[in-house]
Amino acid sequence: MSRPMFLTLADDSWQRAHYAMIVAAGALSLGRHVTLFAGGRSVLALTTDCSGLQGTIADNVLEAKGITGFGELREAVLGFGATVMACETGLIMAGLTAKDLLAGVEVRGIVSFLELAGDNPLLAL
């Protein structure tokens, strides 16, 4: 069994969030369990309307180039059973509530994420 992967996002960069979803989906496809924690304004990546992220590229533009869109990646990550968390403080910072999040996203604090990670390495994107 592979070690679980723990990813954390900290800013509102669309490109970082998109890449985090690529990394998470890739790890899940290899059978690794993934926990993704979005802190600060990166919680915008876990909302139904993620257009508040900086540098957003529309899914249809990516798909026309043969690149998997952000929406499809997020669905895959959640669908393959990743644990996805949005930071309580980040939601407040972004002016959001739990109702703004995608189904399956848990609202947690950083301590919960770190407790789950234990001594495993963290990958910050």
First to last CA, the chain: 24
Distances (CA, A) of 106 to 68, 103, 117: 24, 9, 16
Handedness of CA 3, 16, 50, 11 (dihedral sign): positive
pLDDT score of 50: 86
Q: What is the pTM of this model?
A: 0.95
**Contact (Cβ atoms closer than 8 angstroms) between residue 108 and residue 68:** no
Per-residue pLDDT of the chain (125 residues; tens, 9 = 90+): 689 999 999 999 999 999 999 999 999 999 999 999 999 999 999 999 888 999 999 999 999 999 999 999 999 999 999 999 999 999 999 999 999 999 999 999 999 999 999 999 999 99
pLDDT score of 1: 63
pLDDT score of 14: 97
Handedness of CA 68, 26, 31, 85 (dihedral sign): negative
SS3 category, 76: helix
